[in-house]
Structure 1
């Protein structure tokens, strides 16, 4: 793994070209994914190690990316804690027993390693298949994002119930976030022990928060999680939607990499981060809908901006959308891999 461009860049070294992987790279834009998905439910796919490995390997085999990411979901921690989780086509994730009272919070479990053992089993299968070719990234949802699903009972446009808990009952919110943080740190360490080569923390809904609320109800728990990780030789990537705003604070949690959304100039934000913190990003995923000359131009424009900057991993500012043409994604990765500084 010492020759991995991804790991070199994650530890803030200059690489001959930017390494590339893409959030949601094993997803619904691939026909091969649907061949598997049409046979199993989403949770069956996550919980069956061989199937999770099959899906994880799709972008490795079909796209030739520089890092694989474990096929799973950020809400498996919420389920392991006692959430009644289901996924419905066109609706998304649902918790049938939302967490809204003190009793609900008290009932959540924190000793859940046995309930997440299937993830460790999947990691071992995937690493056998990768056979040292490229690194495997593990991941978890950040406490605020997982909390929002537990409290709302599913996806939300305005996070009204979550914010009401933060503002009217902050002590309850902190108890809930503290429990999720404990589980998340243990879960990431379980993945590290099972053999992942890097981990990423996804705070997908941080952008819903003001600066003060992000600091109090998200950042402090990410600090706690990262401080507990057995991270020797394992880079830690911190991502949130809103990283163009929160990046300086995110860096204070001491991740190795801050993953940046597409709303900011990447070089500008990198220069505002401490030395030794790498950046990942930050192409607007909508560009992958565009014509191939546009895709190439935008990638090259970003690379010229980041020329000779150590610690740069190419990624999207968020995940691939399901209806982006597969050929465009493959072409984007070819453009990256052909580039040389």
Structure 2
């Protein structure tokens, strides 16, 4: 007899009451799991994502190992970029490296469009495998947001200060807004294909947009984010927006047509509410706390849960992703504690 499908997290994302606080962890698929590390000795990230059975297995692992309330598709925010003409490679210990960085309007004009069915069929096949046959919890699909994608495309890889990206934005406005439009088109098309094939929630990672001030965000980013979320809204799946170091942008996020705002560890649930944020909140344990003793981890987790329970619209997560040095047993124990404590204290 099949297990009953657990839709707790979807109900929480919609602001409905639930029996306990649902939880998943950013970068839960892979990273610290021994089964995944063994696979990575043989395959690169892109090689795993190109094999739907293998990719579905990696996506499913944390649900089976930790008992979390959602799976997040195993892939990278770089996954759709080769389809539009970006030569990207994920290098171990570095991250995405791009051999043909954007430097001019001409470079932006050369970028193509994505056709998910022909360009990333393996992503869609993985989603179908998971949602039609394998998962008893919702699958979260995702995409990078235009600013964060553009930062890699212009810098050529990870950056500490995003100076090339910001200089491009300030000096080459025509090229910048064309780049935002092209990346918005790609994001909408790519995410819609994920939803059509079974993704039940979508997270947009604008990981590095916190490097902009609020005024520049309103001018250079907010219009394109409004368009993306407005178009995705018609699919009636929960839409989540997450950024790192974006406390000063939370009210800008709150004014977008999103359902859920992910908080990093710098801003508590209560602080976000005091600022005027009204959306469902997701977060936000500092991943470093997972490397401390259980007493500290339990205390910090309980404090977040207490604020979330008092608020009534909260999904537990980390304030950023799982790091490779975090023990799987810790995540399993933490998930059980979140479920038990929140159910007991509702």
User: Which TM-score band (shorter chain)?
Assistant: over 0.9
Which residue pairs with 2:130 in the alignment?
A: 126
Quick one: distance in 1 between partners of 2:48 and 2:6? 31
Matched pairs, number: 339
Deviations 1:35-69 (A, max 9, x none): 11111111111222112101101101111100000
Question: What is the aligned partner in structure 2 of residue 195 from structure 1?
Answer: 198
Q: Distance in 2 between matches of 1:99 and 1:243?
A: 25
Tell me which of 286, 292, 299 is aligned to 1:284.
286
Q: How many angstroms apart in 2 are the aligned matches of 1:267 and 1:296?
A: 19
1:116 and 2:91 matched: no
Residues of 1 paired with 2:137 and 2:58: CA distance? 16
In the alignment, is residue 318 of structure 1 matched against residue 320 of structure 2? yes
1:23 maps onto 2:29 in alignment = no
Deviation at 1:119, TM superposition (A): 1.3
Cα deviation per residue 1:210-267 (whole Å; 9 max; x = unaligned)? 1122222222211111111154441000111133221111121111101111111212
Contact in 2 for aligned 1:292/1:331 (Cα 8 Å): no
The CA distance in 2 between the partners of 1:251 and 1:144, in whole Å, is: 18
Per the alignment, residue 33 of structure 1 pairs with 36
- CA gap of 1:46–1:244, structure 2 versus 1, over 3 A, is same
Q: Which residue of 1 aligns with 2:257?
A: 254
> Which has the higher mean CA deviation after the structures are superposed, 43-52 or 181-190?
43-52
Give the superposed CA RMSD: 1.6
Q: For residues 87-108 of structure 1, what are the alpha-carbon distances to aligned partners after superposition, in whole Å with 9 as ceiling and x for unaligned? A: 1212221111111122211110
Distance 1:264 1:274 in 2: 12
1:179 matched to which residue of 2?
182
Would you say 1:151 and 2:154 are equivalent positions? Answer: yes
Task: Give the Å deviation of 1:310.
Answer: 2.5
- Equivalent residue for 1:208? 211
With the length of structure 1 as denominator, give the TM-score of the two structures.
Answer: 0.95
Unaligned runs of at least 5 residues, structure 1: none
SS at match of 2:311: coil
Determine the structure 1 residue equivalent to 2:338.
336
> Are 1:264 and 2:256 an aligned pair?
no
User: Which sits farther off after the overlay, 262-271 or 296-305?
Assistant: 262-271
Q: Distance in 1 between matches of 2:276 and 2:231?
A: 22
User: Following TM superposition, by how much is the alpha carbon of 1:110 offset from its aligned partner in structure 2, in angstroms?
Assistant: 1.7
Q: State the distance in 1 between where 2:81 and 2:167 align.
A: 20
Following superposition, the deviation at residue 301 of structure 1 comes to 1.3
- How far off its partner does 1:291 sit? 0.5
Deviation at 1:14, TM superposition (A): 2.3
C-alpha deviation, 1:268, in angstroms: 2.7
- Taking a change above 3 Å as real, the CA distance of residues 111 and 93 of structure 1, as seen in their structure-2 partners, is closer
SS in 2 for 1:28: coil
Number of the residue aligned with 1:85: 88
CA distance in 1, matches of 2:51, 2:6: 31
Moved more, 99-108 or 194-203: 99-108
d(CA) in 2 for partners of 1:112, 1:106:
18
Are the aligned partners of 1:152 and 1:162 in contact in 2 as well (CA < 8 Å)? yes
Contact 1:49 1:122 in 2 (8 A): yes
